[in-house]
Structure 1
């Protein structure tokens, strides 16, 4: 259902709109627009000059006010007024008056657009405007300055469009004041020659257009010169080599580094990939691959437990934990050749093992070697974050990195963190036989997801024996309750009905899953001034370029998403921008980035969810489809879960999709494709899906939306039509009416 509301601000907007409408109507009704022609102005030039000689303050002040009002309301005629100002006041005074009047009027138009439209536009296009506002914050002044110097770009459009952004009013004012000055000077100067002009087109003669175009190109050339000067300064400061061994040196052989190396080699660039540990990074060795192998093993154990409901009796599963871990390690070994040094050397990448350290922006030391390169791509990944918890240093904690060396199943496992990693691993160990307790500070699991989505997962975990402590703070770790007990105690507290409740959780092993932090230290970045943001990731722009024009970053070290497919997405941008950025650079777009939590049920999402839509003030319409209505889910006994689709109110354009249920990650693919290529729910509804499959849930969701938007009035007329047809048409209708009349008589 749409999120709507009427506020005082909206009423104020309506009042402003009404006032503007009246002023514009008066302007056109009075014929002012017809009077503002070159012929009329030339005819009245003598009278204007006489008025100016008699009362210069009144004429100058009145001209100033009129110009401000016309510019503020984006009324036609500003160009002719500029010419008239040159004819009346000359180049000096004309330029002074018109420069300030045009800037003041433009700023008022900017503020009017901001007052009337920025709120609604931001609510509807919040995600699209987010990257625009980041660019405005970083280079807005330069961007506006460039636009002001291009005469063929309508000034009033610039005023209105930038009013919808987060640009500061003062920045808009002073940049406009400076940026419009050259164009204003040209038009005012043309006004001095008013008597010689035969038409307004004379002002836009080829010579003047070329001059304007050169003026517009100047800031772009200036930007190139600034970048050239920056590179020269860096070259002098760090000693740029005369030549290079490589086009790109990639530091880090994880998901991002492998994709970057692959792309660079594919376009025949010379690439070196430096890795200090194992190729494949976290995804292959400690993340995606081993965790999914463990999840699969634990799911089999649960399916054995649940077999009875299908009429199959197999008894309680016996867990061979060593065998489970052998399966996990075998999965890693089977995938390993895909990421091996041999494979990448075969692709043309030089793989170098060792610690990499940047000496200069172009030199990377690896052991005794110094690699010179035109560009460096930092892809050093991230590591588990360890909280500052008293007593933690004296405990041998588990993380997603060292978990895979376990030789025995923990009897009592406490998981600190209820995010995706904590939920996936916590459920897996519970299914394998551990007594698991998940401690999460937020009031729900998966804090980024909608509450009803997280509640479905919480219900399933509790039904499988996982103890949940939500809205709970971990205080400290203490020794076990007795000398004979080898476990330790995690002291926690949470708000209760009678105040704060404290609890002591005894555990054999503690799994810390409270997030990950970027690997930014030890590579020489600090000495080059490449510093992290507040969240610990490297500071890069939307093209993934750092402070230095030839140092780039991608993957977990760059943020903001720590997902393998996000790393690959960034790696393409970083590599292409590094190799071809002098011609064209591409900003990274995360709008349709999917994410999946591989619990049972799975949780998957692309685009906005309800929580984010409300936070960003985006109006939406909600369509929900329960998997309990899907034939295949019923047949498979997997009816838990649902699909939520957020659309633009009254339209089928998808804003976001959240799914909880069996195979949610697979179901998400169709919605991600639709959003990426602008396909609405009507297109999904018109697509044939195999029966019976889980993929039909996408079509069924579109059907629910369509049913809520059926044309009731048209259907009412159709109902009358078919009733009329069933009665035999007009002749039978007449007979029926006559019969009814006779019966009454």
Structure 2
């Protein structure tokens, strides 16, 4: 059956059931009707006991499957007609089979349709049901006031297994079923089915339904005690929270804790601000800006000016980078955070037990502080692959190049960049624009592997135009030096060759800082990152992790995002915990042209089998981009077929990261392209790219029938 027809068939079935239910309700079944029906069945029972039992069973299954308002009456009748044991057996299995048929009908006819329209919004629910669906179903089945039919249909839309649904329903409905069947054996004493569920009985069943939650909490408490067994918990704590690491995640965590008047200590071993301020985001963007200006000077004729070859005082360029860092440093300084109420300690922190942190200061003195909770925000460092000879020739990373380059008068004459990810591409293009001959070596078949191929190709072409020699599909196998200087041997298609260089930057990725913090002593699991749950808790609920050390992203804004969840769960997790949400996580690569991404791209959508359509808007159609000489690039939006809900956005062009903000907000709030189209945008700005993309989508989804009718109307208006 075609998927589009399934919801229609389901709607027809629901309509038929509603009509049948209305007809049954109108006839007003009562106790007298039940007793008359039972008297006829008793005669049949005496003649054909097995056939009567089986016939009653089949009818009960049909009534349960169709959710008709006869199940209570038939349950009472089963007790009166067959007795408690056989009646309970009949009703228990018949009701569960009927419920499972309703469950399967919802799954087969409605589940795909619902998921296609709600998409990612159901993802967290589906994951929760895969994990805890049996538990939730069991507790709801124990409480008979929860509508039988609604629960069957709702469960059919979740990924809970059919066998699990059947078994849990069989067990969960048994207590209430037994009460009704037993009441049926005393049918003469009952005037109305509602008399069966008296207040004490209802409270008993509710208590029975609550019991699994109490048991689960008790199991959780027991497991918690098991985790902490062998460790002596302090009677009093020096701090509410200790944050280890003064980068983005650590700073935000300390800030939030201080804002809610918790006593918080922030421990940083090196410089406040972490990698982002000192060796990452800030210095690299300052360098990229200088390199871009040099590029614009060479190509000033694009703006009606005379192009010039810029003189590049290399030492002065890096002095400016340092000045930018110093200008931003006060935002992350010890003084500022102390002023906010955070105790800031310089030194290396190590976990002694789940509540004690030892801090070794720069003067060699150590101190120990106890705390209710700990947040590990130790960040990441560049990964250096174990390539033979690399240590001998010496190498730079995104952490060390700033100190090295500030002492030089000229850019490296020949620079090798190992890696074709965002950091490698940004640095390769910047140094090429500052005068280096750059050779970029990437093992994969294209740069920026997480982006769509057309994005990778556009960036590669831009870097090549700037003089970067991009070698994709090349693997560095060894390094060395001889009389001619340093070399790297690369392999491609089975052939090897040597490439000469003066300096090499290793930019093949980053790895979490996991060593030296006492994680092994406490048995905190680590892989590539510290292993945490959806609340960012480690195996010890009071020890959490955030930022690069926790993964799965290595973005400053992702670290700040995680910090809120980690801090709130650390301070208030005993009352309420919050699951970290990565549903809408944007990022940008600051090459020229700039790349910004959020949600799915085409490559990922195809890999996941998600149906989509593409709306593409070229920036050479945008007035402001044309005026700025920045008409290179595009906006590409993925939406479900025929819908304006945003699945993902890729932007390539000037200030792509800034343009992206509107799409991120729309996705976060559940708004579609129609909302963006109806928003007034200032003219002329680059932000109009978002509105024009939405307009492009609208033009391709015009209702031709409506337009034809409008044309006839206007023809008639003209007489």
Q: Indicate whether the TM-score tops 0.5.
A: yes
2:583 partner SS: coil
Distance 1:720 1:140, change over 3 A: closer
Distance 1:233 1:423, change over 3 A: same
Residue number in structure 2 paired with 1:386: 384
Deviation at 1:25, TM superposition (A): 5.4
Residue number in structure 2 paired with 1:524: 518
Residue number in structure 1 paired with 2:488: 489
Deviation at 1:660, TM superposition (A): 0.5
Q: Does structure 1 residue 347 correspond to structure 2 residue 346?
A: no
Greater mean deviation of Cα atoms: 207-216 or 618-627: 207-216
Residue number in structure 1 paired with 2:480: 479
Q: Contact 2:476/2:488 (CA < 8 Å) preserved in 1?
A: no
Distance 1:717 1:90, change over 3 A: same
Q: Does structure 1 residue 161 correspond to structure 2 residue 154?
A: yes
Distance 1:464 1:217, change over 3 A: same
1:474-499 Cα deviation digits (max 9, x unpaired): 1511424xx322121231214xxxxx
Gaps of 5+ in 1: 1-9, 495-499, 730-745
Corresponding residue to 2:291 among 270, 290, 298: 298
2:230 partner SS: helix
Q: Contact 2:619/2:631 (CA < 8 Å) preserved in 1?
A: yes
Q: Does structure 1 residue 707 correspond to structure 2 residue 699?
A: yes
Q: Does structure 1 residue 469 correspond to structure 2 residue 489?
A: no
Residue number in structure 1 paired with 2:176: 183
1:603 partner SS: strand
Q: Does structure 1 residue 670 correspond to structure 2 residue 625?
A: no
Q: Contact 1:449/1:609 (CA < 8 Å) preserved in 2?
A: yes
Corresponding residue to 1:445 among 444, 447, 461: 447
Residue number in structure 1 paired with 2:363: none
1:642-689 Cα deviation digits (max 9, x unpaired): 111223333333222211000111111112222222333222222222
Corresponding residue to 1:150 among 101, 124, 143: 143
Greater mean deviation of Cα atoms: 565-574 or 678-687: 678-687
Q: In 2, Cα distance between the equivalents of 1:506 and 1:53? A: 101
Distance 1:489 1:244, change over 3 A: same
Q: Contact 1:124/1:618 (CA < 8 Å) preserved in 2?
A: no
Q: Contact 1:392/1:476 (CA < 8 Å) preserved in 2?
A: no
Corresponding residue to 1:679 among 647, 671, 686: 671
Deviation at 1:19, TM superposition (A): 11
Q: In 2, Cα distance between the equivalents of 1:676 and 1:33? A: 46
Gaps of 5+ in 2: 361-365
Equivalences, count? 708
Distance 1:334 1:173, change over 3 A: same
Distance 1:125 1:242, change over 3 A: same
C-alpha RMSD over aligned residues: 3.0
Q: Contact 1:622/1:646 (CA < 8 Å) preserved in 2?
A: yes
1:593 partner SS: coil
Matches within 5 A, 1:112-151: 112-151=105-144
Q: In 2, Cα distance between the equivalents of 1:133 and 1:159? A: 16
Residue number in structure 2 paired with 1:594: 586
Q: In 2, Cα distance between the equivalents of 1:19 and 1:702? A: 34
Greater mean deviation of Cα atoms: 336-345 or 707-716: 707-716
Taking structure 1 as the reference length, the TM-score comes to 0.87
Q: Contact 2:479/2:486 (CA < 8 Å) preserved in 1?
A: no
Q: Contact 2:7/2:110 (CA < 8 Å) preserved in 1?
A: no
1:375-427 Cα deviation digits (max 9, x unpaired): 22221222222334344344422222222222342222222222211111111
Q: Contact 2:239/2:263 (CA < 8 Å) preserved in 1?
A: yes
Greater mean deviation of Cα atoms: 656-665 or 219-228: 219-228
Distance 1:331 1:694, change over 3 A: same
Residue number in structure 2 paired with 1:400: 398
Corresponding residue to 1:514 among 508, 516, 520: 508
Q: In 2, Cα distance between the equivalents of 1:521 and 1:110? A: 50
Q: In 1, Cα distance between the equivalents of 2:303 and 2:479? A: 46
